Amino acid sequence: MNRLSIFKYDLVSIILYLSLVSFGLVNIYSSSFNESSINLFDVSSIVGKQVLFFFLSLIAFIFILFTRSRFFDNSAYIFYFFSIILLLGLFIFGVERGGAKSWYALGPISFQPSELAKLGTALFLSKFLSIIQTDLKSNRDILIVFIIILIPLILTTIQPDPGSALIFLAFIFPVIREGLNLNYFYFGLYIISTLLLTLKFNFLVCLAILMIVFSAYLIYFRTKKIKISLLKFLFSFFILICISFSTNYLFENVLEQRHRDRINLVLGKEVDTSGIGYNINQSKIAISNGGLFGTGFLEGTQTKGNFVPRQHTDFIFSTIGEEWGFIGTIITIIFFSFLIIRIITRADKQPNHFRRIYSYCFASLLFSHFFLNIGMSIGLIPSIGIPLPFISYGGSSLLIFSMMFFVYINFDSSRLMED
Amino acid sequence: MIRKNLLIWITIFSSVIFIIQLASLQLASDSFNRDFAVQEISVYPERGLIFDRNGELLVTNQPMYELIIIPENTVEFDTIQLSNLIGIEHNDLSKRISSAIKYSTKLPSVIQSQISKEENAFLQEKIWQFDGFYLRKNSVRDYIRPFASNVIGYTGEVDQNDINSNPYYEKGEMIGKQGIESYYEERLRGVKGKRYFQKDRFNRIIGPYNDSKKDISPKKADNLTLTIDIKLQEYAESLLNNKRGGIVAIEPSSGEILTLVSAPTYHSNQFIGQDRTANFQGLLNDTINKPLFDRSLQAQYSPGSPIKILNALIGLQEGVVNESTTFKCNAGHYYARNAFMACHNKIGTISNLRKGIYNSCNTYFAKTYKMIIDKYDSPSQGLDSWSKHIKSFGLGDYLGYDLSIGKKGFIPESNYYNRFYGNNRWSASTTISNSIGQGEILTTPIQMANFTSAIANRGFYYKPHFVKKINNQSNIRLEKNFTSIDKGNFEVVINGMVDVVDRGTARIAKIKNINIAGKTGTVENFILIEGEKKQLTDHSTFIAFAPAEDPKIVISVFVENGYWGSRWAAPIASLIIEKYLTGNVERKWLESRMINGSLLAEYEKPYKFQNFTINE
């Protein structure tokens, strides 16, 4: 067993990772650039901090590569419970930023435990699903799976950081992959559609549509002579109607105004480019300002003028769009989707259940960040404050995603050697 | 295998959707293609200077100040105190402040513009008490010599028409509105430059854009040297004190306009400073004196007797009269049955051409005119031939000088009468008034000066113009415009004109040692009062050039309702000639009579709603 042979590692993914991080540094530099010169290694500057975390990530890389993959298998629950404790500790020791108590601050460096919870949940969920006794057809195990996912999700939601909380829903993908009845997935889609239809139109319209769809299902089942549980069928219909009926109440009384505005904006109900739509609108202006080839590095006028708020973090994609143009944005998208697909396909070759499910969890997290962040930046999804992995500024995010990536590399490399 | 490939398909599907959206944003959409982040600021070159023909500086620029507000920097302040300080109504101030706030709380807005140096000195000491207000320097015109305003014109802020018709201009910029300032606008303004600044999301400038690489430096404006002699202009303007009319003096050997007076007039400086709007309204509303109306360029009068000179020349050219042709005058004559034209010459006066001129005999030129027309088979042909000769002197059309205002005047052609009377159902007698400059003919004072110039040059004129040099480079290519009269025909007529001053109607214009050739005119004119045509006192007019043998100056003077040509116009012309040729005026008595003489009482007559007598 020669651990030092580099060819057994997924070099393509490592190159994609390094390209994305470097491209991220370039764009963070540009987004936070002002006329006073910035030293790349000045830890007090934004890009300097990111470089610092990149080096920390590389150190973690060395450690993770030399760690036996069995270590993660055995200690998965430690990661999970540790991160849950950190999430709970936020209610006492947390620092409030932007309305959410989701940070620990240690001197100049702050840390977001919800990032760690992603790693912890990924490992623990993989551990649980890979246990030979776990059966996703049993209601008890399904319940446990949902509890594993829901604990960090709920803790993050009440910080309140609903954006990060949403990410934990990404774990549905590996659960489905591992054999959860697809009906859960379809039912989830119906819930989302119901919510959107009710918000876009109203309860009555939604009710009418639901009735038409369900009648169609019934006719379909009758003609094809497919046996279904009529009770379950009617129950799910009833639940959707309840959701639709209560949507407006939830919308008006549970969500805050800013959330309502963001959702309305994407639904096309309000067009207010100076108020709440400002972020997304400015992001779209910056991106369209890039054209085909972009304005060039440090030449983006919208970027320089700080028109897009949070541009080095959540809206980093607008900098890419403005300064690197259509070429830059599609290359970023292709790199990301290629990386995600590559991780999934290589995960499928893993004979080891734990490592396969973990890799799948990682791909799902990567995808959901990619989908929500870019979707938001180009105005397809309501404004949700989550970073673009490897690219956005943010130490915790870069470090944890790098670690998750290296764990994947570790698992992938040990695929051929063990079992 | 839905389960296995679900995420792969979702990833691919999302990426495709993203790329489509990005293509529509970055490649197709223009709705988001406005760059809000770059501010363009214009840099203006200093407006060109204007000098007179002798290099005396007439127009320069002076600093002016604007009171600026940045609403977000203001703290509560006493608006009444501020309004008193800058001298505007309190309500007005409040309105301006709220419109500034409406525009932007972060960007500067002008509260009061065109604050003079003196007011600025006073305001600077007080304005620090008002946070959010400051004074900003800019530049406006300074008309150093308050003369020739009708020539120089003035500048003003561009209006919507200027912006629509020329994309160069933006709101708040200055443009030449009248005179030289307007005609030579592009030379005087130069070309503004551009500086680009990077803005942040609060619209604040945070530094130069793109290291100022895109900046365009302004193109320097040109300085103009006018043909106007400002000292002569000043003198001529003083001579028209309390009179209405125009004076045009031209150097015949170049067409350079030495002096162009319109009275009453305005001063360019009235269009600068706080009171400019009120001043402009005042000038505009004075519909009786019409100070904005340039009488030398725009007023179309009957030319009166000076036209006899042209008729004499045409008569000679057409061969219907010669030097020794004589006509008998019986204090007038019957030009047709029962149609008598009076003349101030005594019964039985026999005049040859020269005497006809210097005694301004109506009979002589009526008969000459009749012969010119009757030389041809039909009156149409005759009149068109006459008209062609007249027009070759630059009458009946724009002269093409370098100011944008003017009138064509009117020289009738046969179709004018044919339309009125029917084809050739008229004769020389019908149009006999043309012979003495009273009929349908209309001319402007500058046209009169121009045809006199053609006579002084013995057969040609140069296009009259106002700008001699641009940046010390000669502006105009001199081009002779020949008249249809042979050179040889001029001398006898000019001799007659010399006699006009020597022993004729304009003896008062005589100057020692200088031969002046001139011709007086006394022009009947009418006004409509409540729909009723009433005759007013005759206009006094005079054309002249001197010295007759080598003309240096040509002049035409028109004094409205001054009665005889020799009463006002001839002395004024004579004084200007003396001033120009000798440098000073010896006939102080005549000078003071002209300067102090007033026709205001005459001008009031028709507006007094009672009967009045004329030609007193």
Boundary (domain end) residue, out of A203, A219, A254: A254
Does residue A100 lie within any of the structural domains? Answer: yes
Q: What number is the average pLDDT over the span A50-60?
A: 92
Q: Across the interface, do B2 and A348 touch by the CB < 8 Å criterion? A: no
Residue B32 has pLDDT above 50, yes or no: no
Q: Across the interface, do B4 and A182 touch by the CB < 8 Å criterion? A: no
- Taking CA atoms, what residue in B is nearest to A274? B201
Coil, strand or helix: which one is A390?
A: coil
* pLDDT tens-place string over residues B159-216: 888 888 888 887 778 899 889 999 999 999 989 888 877 766 666 667 777 667 778 8
Q: Is the dihedral of CA A52, A57, A59, A60 positive or negative?
A: positive
Q: B184 at the A interface (CB within 8 A)?
A: no
- What per-residue confidence (pLDDT) applies to A254? 65
CB B448 within 8 A of CB B249: no
The answer for B 469-488 residues in CB contact with A (under 8 A) is none
Does residue A5 lie within any of the structural domains? Answer: no
Q: B15 at the A interface (CB within 8 A)?
A: yes
- Taking CA atoms, what residue in A is nearest to B209? A301
CA–CA distance, B217 with B196 (Å, rounded to integer): 11
Residue A235 has pLDDT above 60, yes or no: yes
What number of C-beta contacts closer than 8 Å exist between A and B? Answer: 116
CB A407 within 8 A of CB A358: yes
- Taking CA atoms, what residue in A is nearest to B23? A326
CB B258 within 8 A of CB B126: no
Q: Is the peptide bond prior to B547 cis by the omega test (within 30 degrees of 0)?
A: yes
What are the two backbone dihedrals, phi and then psi, of residue B537, each rounded to the nearest 5 degrees? Answer: -55, 140
Does residue A244 lie within any of the structural domains? Answer: yes
Q: How confident is the model at residue B504 (pLDDT cuts 50, 70, 90)?
A: confident
Boundary (domain end) residue, out of A209, A229, A254: A254
Crossing angle for the helix pair A316-348 and A11-31, to the nearest 10 degrees: 170
Q: Across the interface, do A305 and B198 touch by the CB < 8 Å criterion? A: yes
Q: How many CB atoms lie within 10 A of CB B358?
A: 24
Q: Across the interface, do B33 and A302 touch by the CB < 8 Å criterion? A: no
* pLDDT tens-place string over residues B84-112: 888 888 888 888 888 888 777 767 778 88
Report the share of chain B in percent with pLDDT over 70. Answer: 96
CA–CA distance, A161 with B323 (Å, rounded to integer): 113
Q: What number is the average pLDDT over the span A387-404?
A: 92
User: Strands B224-226, B50-51: parallel, antiparallel or unpaired by DSSP?
Assistant: parallel
Nearest to B308 by CA among B453, B441, B503: B441
What's chain A's Rg over C-alpha atoms?
Answer: 23
The amino acid at residue A355 is R
Does residue A150 lie within any of the structural domains? Answer: yes
CB B514 within 8 A of CB B581: yes
- What per-residue confidence (pLDDT) applies to B52? 92
CA–CA distance, A401 with A64 (Å, rounded to integer): 13
- What per-residue confidence (pLDDT) applies to B433? 87
Residue A120 has pLDDT above 90, yes or no: yes
Does residue A226 lie within any of the structural domains? Answer: yes
Contacts of A325 in chain B (CB under 8 A): 26
Chain-centroid distance of CA A50 in Å reads 20
- Taking CA atoms, what residue in A is nearest to B3? A177
Nearest to B401 by CA among B450, B451, B464: B464
**Total number of domains in chain A:** 2
Q: How confident is the model at residue A245 (pLDDT cuts 50, 70, 90)?
A: confident
The pair of structure tokens assigned to B224 is: 């103009």
CA–CA distance, A334 with B16 (Å, rounded to integer): 10
- What per-residue confidence (pLDDT) applies to B33? 44
Same domain, A37 and A172: yes
- What per-residue confidence (pLDDT) applies to A269? 62
- What per-residue confidence (pLDDT) applies to B31? 44
Same domain, A326 and A215: no
Does residue A230 lie within any of the structural domains? Answer: yes
Contacts of B37 in chain A (CB under 8 A): 301-302, 304-305, 307
- What per-residue confidence (pLDDT) applies to A80? 94
Looking at every residue in chain A, the average pLDDT score rounds to: 84
Q: A337 at the B interface (CB within 8 A)?
A: yes
* pLDDT tens-place string over residues B218-249: 889 999 999 999 999 999 999 998 899 999 99
Does residue A193 lie within any of the structural domains? Answer: yes
The answer for B 191-230 residues in CB contact with A (under 8 A) is 198-201, 206-207, 209-210
Contacts of B209 in chain A (CB under 8 A): 301
Residue A175 domain boundaries: 12-180+264-414
Q: What number is the average pLDDT over the span A102-120?
A: 86
CA–CA distance, B279 with B275 (Å, rounded to integer): 6
Instruction: Return the HEC string of B438-493.
Output: CCCCEECHHHHHHHHHHHHCCCEEECCECEEEECCEECCCCCEEECCCCHHHHHHH
Q: Tell me how far CA of residue A218 lies from CA of A221, A243, A349, in angstroms.
A: 5, 21, 40
Coil, strand or helix: which one is B602?
A: helix
User: Strands B57-69, B109-115: parallel, antiparallel or unpaired by DSSP?
Assistant: antiparallel
CA–CA distance, B571 with B542 (Å, rounded to integer): 9
Same domain, A69 and A101: yes
Nearest to B358 by CA among B492, B523, B557, B222: B492
Which parts of B116-235 are beta strand (E)? Answer: 133-143, 155-157, 174-176, 193-199, 205-208, 224-226
Structural domains of chain B ordered from first start: 64-138 (3.30.1390), 230-607 (3.40.710.10)
Same domain, A78 and A110: yes
Same domain, A34 and A159: yes
Contacts of A292 in chain B (CB under 8 A): 26-27
Residue B452 has pLDDT above 90, yes or no: yes
Q: Across the interface, do B7 and A344 touch by the CB < 8 Å criterion? A: yes
Q: How confident is the model at residue A1 (pLDDT cuts 50, 70, 90)?
A: very low
Same domain, A176 and A131: yes
Q: A305 at the B interface (CB within 8 A)?
A: yes
Same domain, A220 and A339: no
- Closest partner residue to B26 (CB to CB) among A292, A348, A371 is A292
| More confident call, B604 vs B244 | B244
| More confident call, A230 vs B466 | B466
Helix (H) or strand (E) run with residue B538 in it: strand B532-546
CB B173 within 8 A of CB B158: yes
Residue B561 has pLDDT above 70, yes or no: yes
- CA angle A64-A69-A72, nearest 5°? 85
Indicate the range of A163-177, A258-272, A383-397, B176-190 predicted with least confidence: A258-272
Contacts of A332 in chain B (CB under 8 A): none
Looking at every residue in chain B, the average pLDDT score rounds to: 86
Contacts of A179 in chain B (CB under 8 A): 3
Boundary (domain end) residue, out of A254, A288, A312: A254
- Phi/psi-derived region of residue A400, left when phi > 0, alpha when psi is between -120 and 50, beta in every other case: alpha
Same domain, A53 and A135: yes
Half-sphere exposure of residue B51: CA atoms within 13 angstroms, side-chain side:
13
* pLDDT tens-place string over residues B285-333: 887 788 888 899 998 988 988 999 999 999 999 888 888 888 988 888 8
- What per-residue confidence (pLDDT) applies to B581? 92
Q: Is B10 exposed, middle or buried (0-12, 13-18, 19+ CB in 10 A)?
A: middle
Same domain, A402 and A295: yes
Same domain, A43 and A154: yes
Q: What number is the average pLDDT over the span B339-355?
A: 87
Q: B28 at the A interface (CB within 8 A)?
A: no
Q: How far is A330 from chain B (nearest CA, A)?
A: 6
Same domain, A121 and A197: no
Asked whether this complex has an ipTM greater than 0.90, the answer is: no
Q: Across the interface, do B32 and A288 touch by the CB < 8 Å criterion? A: yes
Q: How far is B210 from chain A (nearest CA, A)?
A: 7
Identify the bridge partners of residue B340 per DSSP, sorted by sequence position: B334
Same domain, A242 and A279: no
Residue A63 has pLDDT above 50, yes or no: yes
CA–CA distance, B462 with B356 (Å, rounded to integer): 29
CB B174 within 8 A of CB B155: yes
Residue A258 has pLDDT above 70, yes or no: no
Indicate the range of B140-149, B272-281, B579-588 predicted with least confidence: B272-281
Does residue A2 lie within any of the structural domains? Answer: no
Q: Is the dihedral of CA A360, A361, A366, A369 positive or negative?
A: positive
Q: Tell me how far CA of residue A241 lies from CA of A182, A191, A206, A267, B161, in angstroms.
A: 21, 10, 8, 21, 63
